[in-house]
């Protein structure tokens, strides 16, 4: 509970209307898109300027009050949950696109810009920003930078960190620091801006972002391939990648999800198929034609039952709607869904899929699979019910087995969602102890009073 004097100081900084303290408001900011984590903040502030962010942090630092930065609250690792109480600093009112520079192929934005709004503004200029987490309707650019988010297009174009040229960051002390710049190349000193990408709100509050852009690819084609066997589909992905073809998107959907889609919004998907692969090729019209034909050929050679090429944009949109509604389809199917985000080397995708099937059978728990196949980043969703202790214990054991399997295949415990609260207990198995120690030392230098998102990434 914050003292009334502190609340009134916060109101002086950001304005009366943008400090929230009612139970209803605090509840709204007590959870994210994870299923099991929740904690009430003592206050929520919604600053509109960098200067306000700086003053809020200065005040919090002097009074040793935890501050949890928050964007759209769509995180899947518990990062924006104020697990130690204190202040939630939500950036959604800092939502201006400050500049789109067509010649420099860059854009400068405030952190609260919703990704979809940014994409729409860029499309009008014929420009393209590839990182496309499937929460694009609600996630903010600040949140995607803090998580180093990925998405389907990252298969060909790379993840968020490959697009961050410069950052303005407010440190726990209130100091406003500028990092990087607007040039596509910058070799001045250590890559400190990159340190903040994926730092999950623990090192500073990101208040301005300069992003690298690409011209919109002139042509795109989408298709899906139908498989009777999930493992065969996994092998098809490896075969395509090994052939030298680089699709812009390769997404995997299993039989559980195919049936669920057809139950919720029938689209004519084959409910007897065991897996679908969704593809997009992008580039010049000639390249797209050649690549899509190569993908079709390799799919058949790898054992696909059938392939379907989208004949027009409406059909392509239908294919990608399948993918973007996958989380809603899964989350509406069980009381508690544990979403995993492990990533394995691209040549181990089939082994990973097979392992998931075995774990599902062993524990008699459904684990729908969907995800970014070309990045080896397939999300197993463990369907459980937290109110049923015995079932939930089985689900937790499954999570541990999934983490262990990913590591044993040479993979990692998070491909894009971050560690947050959800994966802390496996951190020491996934990272060199010296590297964990170094992270803690960096945190200690930048935030000596541990006010910024305390309790995240590693347990305290």
Ligand X SMILES: Cc1cc2nc3c(=O)[nH]c(=O)nc-3n(C[C@H](O)[C@H](O)[C@H](O)COP(=O)(O)OP(=O)(O)OC[C@H]3O[C@@H](n4cnc5c(N)ncnc54)[C@H](O)[C@@H]3O)c2cc1C
For residue 6, how many C-alpha atoms fall within 13 Å in the half-sphere facing its CB?
21
Could you say whether residue 111 binds ligand X (CB under 6 A)? yes
- The residue (of 144 and 360) whose beta carbon lies closer to ligand X is 144
Considering the rule CB under 6 A, would residue 140 count as an interface residue with ligand X? yes
Residue 249 interacts with ligand X (CB under 6 A)?
Answer: no
Contact flag: residue 41 with ligand X (CB under 6 A): no
Distance CA(95)–CA(115), nearest Å, equals 10
Q: Determine if 201 is a binding residue for ligand X (CB under 6 A).
A: yes
Between 290 and 325, CB nearer to ligand X: 325
Interaction of residue 375 with ligand X, rule CB under 6 A: no
Work out how close the CB of 34 gets to ligand X at its nearest, in angstroms, rounded to a whole number. 9
Phi-psi region of 63 (alpha: psi -120 to 50; beta: other; left: phi over 0): alpha
The nearest distance, CB 352 to ligand X, in angstroms, is 18
**133 scored as a contact of ligand X (CB under 6 A):** yes
> Long-range CB contacts (< 8 A, 24+ apart) of 266-273?
267/318, 267/321, 267/322, 269/322, 270/226, 270/306, 273/226, 273/227, 273/228, 273/305
Nearer to ligand X, 232 or 367 (CB): 367
CA-based nearest residue to 299, from 239, 340, 258, 360: 239
Are 156 and 247 contacting, i.e. CB atoms less than 8 angstroms apart? Answer: yes
Q: Are 422 and 379 in contact (CB under 8 A)?
A: no
Q: Which residues of 247-267 are buried (b: 16+ CB within 10 A; e: fewer)?
A: bbbbbbbbbbbbbbbeeeeee
- Considering only the stretches 148-156, 178-186, 242-250, 440-448, report the one whose residues sit in contact with ligand X under the rule CB under 6 A: 148-156
Contact letters (x/-) for ligand X, 58-77, by CB under 6 A? ----------xxxxxxxxx-
Asked if residue 147 binds ligand X (CB under 6 A), the reply is yes
Burial class from Cβ neighbours inside 10 Å (0-12, 13-18, 19+) for residue 176 reads middle
* CB 350 to ligand X: min, Å: 22
Between 134 and 248, whose beta carbon lies closer to ligand X?
134
Nearer to ligand X, 19 or 304 (CB): 19
- The reply to whether 150 sits near ligand X by the rule CB under 6 A is yes
What number of H helices and E strands is found in the chain?
A: 16, 18
Euclidean distance between the first and final Cα of the chain, in Å? 21
148 phi, psi to nearest 5 deg: 50, 55
> How many Cβ atoms from other residues are within 10 Å of residue 23's Cβ?
8
CA 126 to chain centre: 25
Asked whether position 200 contacts ligand X by CB under 6 A, the answer is: yes
Q: Three-state SS for 352?
A: helix
* Residue entry with tokens 């002086």: 12
Number of residues that bind ligand X (CB under 6 A): 36
Candidates 145-153, 172-180, 434-442, 443-451: pick the segment binding ligand X (CB under 6 A): 145-153
**Beta carbon of residue 400, minimum distance to ligand X (angstroms, whole number):** 22
Q: How far is the CB of 138 from ligand X (least distance, A)?
A: 6
Q: Closest distance between ligand X and the C-beta of residue 29, in Å?
A: 9
- The distance of Cα 99 from the centroid of its chain, to the nearest Å, equals 24
| Using rule CB under 6 A, residue 168 touches ligand X | no
- Please report whether residue 86 would count as binding ligand X according to CB under 6 A: no
CA angle 215, 217, 220 (to 5 degrees): 160
Task: Determine which residue in the list 55, 61, 135, 302 makes contact with ligand X, applying CB under 6 A.
Answer: 135
Contact track, ligand X, 325-364, x by CB under 6 A: --x-------------------------------------
- Residue 143 contacts ligand X per CB under 6 A: yes
Q: Exactly one of 19, 205, 398, 446 binds ligand X (CB under 6 A); which one? A: 205
Question: Cα-flanking dihedrals φ and ψ of residue 316, to 5°?
Answer: -65, -45
Our finding on whether 82 is near ligand X (CB under 6 A) is no
Candidates 50, 144, 153, 414; binder of ligand X (CB under 6 A) is: 144
What does the binding site for ligand X look like in residue numbers (CB under 6 A)?
32-33, 68-76, 79-80, 91, 111, 133-135, 139-140, 142-144, 146-147, 149-151, 200-201, 205-206, 327, 416-417, 453
């Amino acid at each position: 509970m914050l003292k009334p004097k502190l609340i009134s100081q916060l109101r002086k900084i950001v304005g009366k209307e943008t400090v929230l303290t009612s139970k209803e408001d605090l509840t709204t900011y007590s959870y994210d898109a994870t299923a099991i984590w929740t904690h009430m903040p003592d206050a929520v502030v919604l600053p509109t300027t960098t200067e306000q962010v700086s003053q809020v942090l200065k005040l919090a630092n002097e009074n040793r009050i935890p501050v949890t930065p928050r964007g759209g609250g769509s995180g899947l690792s518990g990062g924006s949950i104020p697990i130690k109480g204190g202040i939630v600093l939500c950036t959604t009112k800092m939502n201006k696109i400050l500049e789109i520079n067509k010649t420099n192929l860059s854009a400068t934005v405030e952190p609260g810009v919703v990704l979809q709004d940014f994409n729409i503004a860029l499309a009008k200029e014929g420009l393209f920003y590839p990182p496309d987490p499937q929460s694009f309707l609600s996630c903010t650019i600040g949140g995607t930078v803090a998580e180093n988010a990925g998405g389907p297009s990252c298969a060909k174009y790379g993840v968020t960190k490959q697009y961050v040229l410069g950052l303005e960051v407010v440190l726990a002390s209130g100091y406003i620091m500028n990092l990087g710049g607007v040039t596509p190349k910058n070799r001045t000193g250590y890559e400190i801006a990159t340190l903040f990408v994926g730092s999950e709100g623990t090192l500073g509050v990101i208040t301005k972002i300069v992003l690298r852009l690409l011209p919109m690819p002139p042509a795109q084609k989408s298709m899906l391939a139908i498989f009777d066997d999930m493992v065969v589909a996994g092998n098809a992905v490896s075969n395509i990648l090994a052939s030298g073809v680089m699709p812009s998107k390769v997404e995997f959907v299993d039989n559980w999800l195919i049936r669920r889609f057809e139950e919720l919004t029938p689209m004519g998907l084959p409910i007897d198929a065991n897996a679908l692969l969704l593809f997009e090729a992008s580039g010049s019209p000639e390249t797209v034609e050649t690549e899509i034909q190569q993908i079709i050929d390799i799919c058949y050679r790898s054992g696909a039952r059938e392939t379907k090429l989208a004949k027009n944009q409406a059909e392509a949109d239908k294919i990608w709607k399948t993918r973007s509604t996958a989380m809603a389809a899964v989350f509406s199917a069980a009381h508690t869904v544990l979403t995993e985000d492990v990533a394995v080397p691209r040549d181990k995708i089939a082994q990973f899929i097979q392992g998931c099937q075995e774990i599902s059978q062993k524990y008699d728990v459904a684990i729908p699979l969907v995800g970014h196949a070309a990045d080896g980043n397939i999300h197993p969703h463990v369907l459980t019910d937290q109110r049923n202790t015995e079932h939930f214990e089985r689900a937790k054991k499954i999570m541990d087995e999934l983490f262990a399997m990913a590591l044993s295949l040479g993979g990692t415990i998070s491909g894009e969602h971050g560690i947050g609260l959800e994966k802390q207990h496996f951190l020491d198995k996934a990272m060199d102890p010296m590297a964990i120690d170094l992270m803690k030392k960096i945190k200690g230098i930048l935030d000596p009073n541990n006010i910024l998102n305390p309790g995240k990434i590693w347990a305290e």
